[in-house]
């Protein structure tokens, strides 16, 4: 593997870590409704458990209400039960074919608790980015050891990998700060 491939691979994996962080943070509840909040809920459909998004259309009705429109008539009760039994603390209400899921306002204590969860997710992402830096640096050292690259190449590559790592950690901080701001906004 060439030096450029090692750097490109490290950057790709670091970007994937940041995307995973964004997906994890999308599931953290703020005072605002977000259809992604229901993505983790599994519903029984023909004997198997499937994600909510595969049996219903999830939409925003307003800033604090998610609308769930089942694709099949008989699924409404199962979807409502799955939402009620989830650990999200939501109380859905049926209105004909539509299930309304109001998002309750968050207390100050709950906001602080969620902020800690967000920071924890951010730390996990930083650890993942640093592990990827370590792996890339070890791959570069192996090339030097195998005499496929010079020590100057190693120094240059480790500096570039460090700059990449610093940029990615700054991105993680930015994503976490944005989510914290969302949590405290309401």
> Which pLDDT tens digit goes with each residue over 83-120?
888 877 788 988 888 999 988 777 888 788 888 888 99
Alpha helices, H only, 63-107: 76-85
Average of per-residue pLDDT across 135-144: 93
d(CA 10, CA 12): 5
Are 113 and 184 within 8 A, CB to CB? no
Supply the pLDDT for residue 186.
Answer: 58
d(CA 157, CA 21): 26
Supply the pLDDT for residue 10.
Answer: 93
Global confidence as pTM: 0.69
Are 109 and 128 within 8 A, CB to CB? no
> Quick one: tokens of 101?
């899921």
């Amino acid at each position: 593997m060439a030096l450029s491939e090692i750097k490109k691979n490290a950057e790709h994996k670091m970007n994937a870590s940041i995307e995973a962080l964004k997906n994890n943070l999308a599931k953290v509840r703020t005072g605002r409704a977000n259809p992604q909040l229901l993505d983790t809920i599994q519903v029984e459909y023909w004997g198997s458990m499937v994600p909510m998004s595969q049996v219903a259309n999830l939409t925003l009705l307003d800033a604090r209400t998610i609308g769930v429109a089942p694709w099949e008539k008989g699924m409404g009760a199962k979807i409502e039960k799955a939402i009620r039994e989830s650990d999200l603390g939501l109380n859905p209400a049926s209105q004909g074919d539509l299930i309304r899921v109001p998002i309750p306002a968050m207390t100050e204590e709950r906001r602080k608790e969620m902020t800690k969860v967000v920071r924890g997710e951010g730390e996990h992402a930083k650890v993942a980015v640093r592990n990827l830096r370590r792996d890339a640096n070890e791959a570069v050292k192996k090339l030097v050891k195998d005499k496929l690259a010079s020590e100057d190449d190693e120094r240059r590559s480790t500096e570039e990998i460090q700059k990449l790592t610093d940029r990615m950690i700054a991105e993680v901080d930015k994503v976490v700060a944005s989510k914290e701001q969302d949590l405290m906004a309401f």
